[in-house]
Amino acid sequence: MGFFRGSIMLLCGVALLNTGGSGAQQTKNNVPRLKLSYKDMLESNNLVTFEGLPNSSAYHTFLLDEEKGRLVVGAKDHIFSFNLLNISKEFAQIPWPASSTRRDECKWAGKDLSRECSNFVKVLQPFNQTHVYVCGTGAFHPVCSYLDVGKKSEDSVFRLEPHVENGRGKSPYDPKLLTASMLIDGELYAGTSADFMGRDFAIFRTLGKHHPIRTEQHDSRWLNDPRFLGIHLISESDNPEDDKIYLFFRENAIDGEHTGKATHARVGQLCKNDLGGHRSLVNKWTTFLKARLICSVPGNNGIDTHFDELQDVFLMSTKDPKSPVVYAVFTTSSNIFKGSAVCMYSMTDIRRVFLGPYAHRDGPSYQWVPFQGRVPYPRPGTCPSKTFGGFDTTKDLPDEVVQFARSHPAMFNPVYPINNRPIIVKTDVDYQFTQIVVDKVEAEDGLYDVMFIGTDAGTILKVVSIPRGSWHDLEEVLLEEMTVFREPAAITAMELSTKQQQLYLGSDIGVSQMPLHRCEVYGKACAECCLARDPYCAWDGTECSRYFPMAKRRTRRQDIRNGDPLTQCSDLQHHDELSGQSTLQDKTVYGVENSSTFLECSPKSQRATTYWQYQSTTDDHKQEIKSEERFIHTEQGLLIRALNKKDSGIYLCQAVEHGFMQTVLKVNLEVIDTERLEDLLHRDEEAASAPAHEYSSSRETPNQRLWYRDFLSLVNHPTLNSVDEFCEQVWKRERKHKRQKSHLVQKVQLHQQQQQKTATSPRNHMHAQGLAAKWKHLQERQKGRNRRTHELERAPRSV
């Protein structure tokens, strides 16, 4: 059957856009290597979804319990319990609506009955071995209760206690507002709003044996319309008396600091053993301090672009539990400029700022300056402990310390990110970051932090930071972009289970679950697996699969740092394996003389650039096809205009990524000349008037017959004319663009006049030199990589 096996391809009409660029010369560092749509995710078994209840929404509050294998989710009027193995397999739900009396009151107070007068669950905190503390907005009347989840997962207990407590200072009234909460030693710490109007924001400590305590009320120096995003306990020394609570929030910049309204990202600190002052600041924090978090990039006019709208914070633990790394997601406040960034902060830097000068001003119309006077002892912000203070409780603090603390809650110096700049910036996209979780992954060549970033478009970005030479020079590799909700709903909750190797995602419309890795998607060849640079994956000798550092086997191939398949896979020495032949597509395409055709080739990796080679059917020699009048390279493939009989032959689509080339498509192009076309069309008429079995007469071989059938389907294709018209338009646009750029359009005759031209002819030699130069250029682009090179192996095999 020969090449007739291939299927007919006529693709010019399908989604051919973006005809810019000559392929291989572009850098594609900002595009995700792999982009998976919602459909892709479902079909490849990489997504499990809970589509929500018709009478619920706002699946925003998550509590991950890896021990019991459960994910508890708080939503509108409901609490859910999902099985971590598969959230759609079995789940329990508890309706927890507000009473009709509360709903009526809420409505009479002028609130929207359907959107606001429900019980939106905002707090889910483990209380003791069997119970979870749960709070909701209760139709603008916050309530809390206890959720019985049993001692062991086998108990499968999931029950809400009938006892209900006042939720003020724990959950906000308004469902639009957030609460950052944490329950430790029976005490609930919560940053929230504590009134119906949503004006009284504070950091509270409630429950437990102590009197409730909070931040100073109605003092914009302490908190100025804040939005709380995260709260964490971090110890300062081995003495638990020094334990501190850190809060992450954004708030309005204090008046006078800026003209107009500006937002600042903040980190705040408190001592866990703070009991408030004795004479002043009674039942108020005496150890509260806050500092600004900076995340900015230098602008071209000397003015930095600030990312101030803190959205989410994730603490990545390190060997030292006192020094987790703070990952923070920001967006811009600007209406004009839409952008997102991720910055990393060290606890050392944060602590240094809290030990630095306090911000001070003499009055509302004065500038903020570093406080120069005498700071009272013990220094405000220090916890009462044997380590530093020599005093037992904050109630023993001297009055002048409490007075100073009251009037100086802010630090003068801001906290700058590690390396003084964001690790990720995204400005050229129509989405913004909302959430982040980070996983530490052990790979063959080291430990990597893999970030999962949620967006407001219902997508997840998987990013790994790879050191270029040192840890001060990180390269961000965007591995995957995945759509995880059926509609572009913002990701509002995210939990990562290392035990299950799964990620759980919440939004307004439901809950989704996806594995942290899908190594098989990268391809079957060693080179493809290696190029992916996914620390979770390695080539195990037969396929791309999950890498386990424990099971050290010689056959495991992985190179995250360089993504170099040549050092990793070349000794395998099956040429096919190395060049990714296992995924090579082989197709036959028919074209009609003087009309246009389109050879579609889009490599799986969006990072790869493509270039095309031509090989005539009569000899093995391959040559590169340059973009010119008749041949146009597009992102999706090669467009050939005004087909010539001599264009018949083999077209190879080569994908180049990270200096590594692989053939991804082989197309056999068969150009039908006009005489033959007429002959066929004529026969087509005959065939139409004759019984079907007769039109393949004995004059034809079986091959010809098959060819004829395929050809008829091409000719009868309803869009044949429009394809040509479309190709014509693209060609004109391209030509115009080219003329503007250069008048020197180099003509390359693809097919030589004499079929017998050998590889040693001067013309081909020149062409080979051109390829070599291009190859060299590609290699040089891989700057600063310290590794052995394989010059010979790297050169295109065809030259």
- Site of interaction with ligand NAG (CB under 6 A): 45, 48, 53, 55, 77, 86, 88-89, 95, 97, 127-131, 146, 594, 674
Residue carrying the six token digits 């391209």: 734
Handedness of CA 363, 369, 374, 378 (dihedral sign): positive
**Nearest distance in Å: CB 386, ligand NAG:** 31
How far apart are alpha carbons 587 and 652 in whole angstroms?
10
> Is 82 or 660 the residue whose CB approaches ligand NAG more closely?
82
> Is 592 or 768 the residue whose CB approaches ligand NAG more closely?
592
> Is 502 or 579 the residue whose CB approaches ligand NAG more closely?
502
Angle at 696 between CA 692 and CA 700, to 5 degrees: 175
**Nearest distance in Å: CB 673, ligand NAG:** 8
Q: What is the DSSP letter of 572?
A: G
> Is 146 or 189 the residue whose CB approaches ligand NAG more closely?
146
> Is 95 or 208 the residue whose CB approaches ligand NAG more closely?
95
CA distances for 537 relative to 24, 29, 136, 576, 774, angstroms: 27, 20, 41, 21, 31
Grouping H, G, I as helix, E, B as strand and the rest as coil, residue 576 is helix
**Nearest distance in Å: CB 96, ligand NAG:** 7
How far apart are alpha carbons 519 and 540 in whole angstroms?
11
- Which conformational region is residue 279 in: left (phi greater than 0), alpha (psi within -120 to 50 degrees), or beta? alpha
Handedness of CA 721, 726, 732, 734 (dihedral sign): negative
**Nearest distance in Å: CB 56, ligand NAG:** 6
**Nearest distance in Å: CB 86, ligand NAG:** 4
**Nearest distance in Å: CB 291, ligand NAG:** 37
Which residues make Cβ contacts (< 8 Å) with residue 729, sequence separation at least 6? none
Handedness of CA 565, 567, 570, 572 (dihedral sign): negative
> Is 504 or 539 the residue whose CB approaches ligand NAG more closely?
504
> Is 419 or 501 the residue whose CB approaches ligand NAG more closely?
501
Which strands make up the sheet holding 597-600, listed edge to edge? 597-600, 637-640, 631-633
> Is 93 or 280 the residue whose CB approaches ligand NAG more closely?
93
**Nearest distance in Å: CB 724, ligand NAG:** 13
> Is 145 or 668 the residue whose CB approaches ligand NAG more closely?
145
**Nearest distance in Å: CB 161, ligand NAG:** 7
**Nearest distance in Å: CB 3, ligand NAG:** 25
Contact 493, 61 (CB under 8 A): yes
> Is 429 or 715 the residue whose CB approaches ligand NAG more closely?
715
**Nearest distance in Å: CB 626, ligand NAG:** 21
In degrees rounded to 5, what are phi and psi of residue 794? -75, -30
Contact 36, 481 (CB under 8 A): yes
> Is 674 or 703 the residue whose CB approaches ligand NAG more closely?
674
> Is 48 or 203 the residue whose CB approaches ligand NAG more closely?
48
Which residues make Cβ contacts (< 8 Å) with residue 574, sequence separation at least 6? none
**Nearest distance in Å: CB 280, ligand NAG:** 34
**Nearest distance in Å: CB 577, ligand NAG:** 30
> Is 86 or 407 the residue whose CB approaches ligand NAG more closely?
86
> Is 139 or 667 the residue whose CB approaches ligand NAG more closely?
139
How far apart are alpha carbons 668 and 1 in whole angstroms?
14
Q: What is the DSSP string of 13-56?
A: TSS-----S-STT---TTS-SEEE-HHHHHHTT--EEE---TT-
**Nearest distance in Å: CB 593, ligand NAG:** 6
- Which conformational region is residue 420 in: left (phi greater than 0), alpha (psi within -120 to 50 degrees), or beta? left
**Nearest distance in Å: CB 296, ligand NAG:** 42
Q: Please report how the helices 674-689 and 702-715 are oriented relative to each other, as an axis angle in degrees rounded to 10.
A: 90
Strands, E assignment, 468-608: 474-483, 493-497, 502-506, 511-515, 537-539, 544-546, 585-592, 597-600
Q: How far is CA 161 from the centre of its chain?
A: 39
How far apart are alpha carbons 243 and 236 in whole angstroms?
6
Handedness of CA 499, 503, 508, 510 (dihedral sign): negative
**Nearest distance in Å: CB 147, ligand NAG:** 10
Which residues make Cβ contacts (< 8 Å) with residue 262, sequence separation at least 6? 252, 253, 308, 333
> In this chain, which residue has its C-beta nearest to ligand NAG?
674
> Is 59 or 612 the residue whose CB approaches ligand NAG more closely?
59
In degrees rounded to 5, what are phi and psi of residue 310? -60, 130
How far apart are alpha carbons 343 and 267 in whole angstroms?
13
**Residue type at position 266:** R
